[in-house]
Amino acid sequence: MLEGSNPYQTLILEKPDLVILDTWLATRDAGWTLLQLLKLDPVTKDTPVLVCTSDREALEMRARALENHGTVSVLNKPYTREALLPAVEGILGAQTGAEAQTPVLNPS
């Protein structure tokens, strides 16, 4: 995304197959706010989101809400490419009807 752009508007216009979302955007809660907007909007509510965070406290506080959105997976930071790629492939594979993989919660 370009600096100064509105991520929510960009996602509505671009209609990506998957959103990889860092929870710390401009502020600590900006990514979480964007996730809420995406999941409340009928246009984007079914777009899968891979939440990337190192903020375990915020993740624990929001765990129950995340469970209510089957299209949200979590990848703890820091992560490696070897952890990211299978997570993305699993999410996109589930979209196309391929065998779904369990969301990545604690990659090693």
Task: Give pLDDT tens digits for 10-46.
Answer: 999 999 999 999 988 788 888 888 999 999 999 999 9
pLDDT at 96 over 80: no
In this predicted structure, what is the pLDDT of residue 67?
Answer: 73
Question: Domain map of the chain by residue range?
Answer: 7-95
Instruction: Identify the CATH number of the domain defined by range 7-95.
Output: 3.40.50.2300
Q: Dump strand ranges (E) for 1-108.
A: 19-22, 49-53, 72-76
CA distance 98 to 23: 28
CA distance 91 to 94: 5
pLDDT at 49 over 90: yes
In this predicted structure, what is the pLDDT of residue 64?
Answer: 73
Handedness of CA 47, 52, 58, 61 (dihedral sign): positive
Q: How far apart, in Å, are the Cα atoms of 29 and each of 22, 63, 82, 83?
A: 10, 15, 27, 24
